[in-house]
Amino acid sequence: MSLLMTPIVEYPTGATSSLPAFKDVFSRPQMENFASYFTGLMVSPDRTISQIDDAFYAHKDQSALNHFHTEARRIASMAFS
């Protein structure tokens, strides 16, 4: 059962203060998706890509977040190999 929560309208300070550490890893659009994903993991009671995307007031098509998640895993595997 999913809990109803107030939609996320901006990234919390915990997310925005962490973003500069990743500026050399992600492009600007990827950084926006990273901020959404990171915020969703921090505050959403349901942590699927679809539910994280739906938690935002002005959410995009969830496919952008799906693509980011897949691409980020590829980038991370290259960086740590």
Q: What is the pLDDT of residue 61?
A: 81
At what angle are helices 28-43 and 62-79 packed, to 10 degrees?
A: 100
Give the pLDDT confidence of 38-78 residue by residue, as tens digits.
998 888 887 889 888 888 888 778 888 888 888 888 877 77
DSSP output for 42-71:
HH-SS-SHHHHHHTBTT---HHHHHHHHHH
Q: What is the pLDDT of residue 35?
A: 92
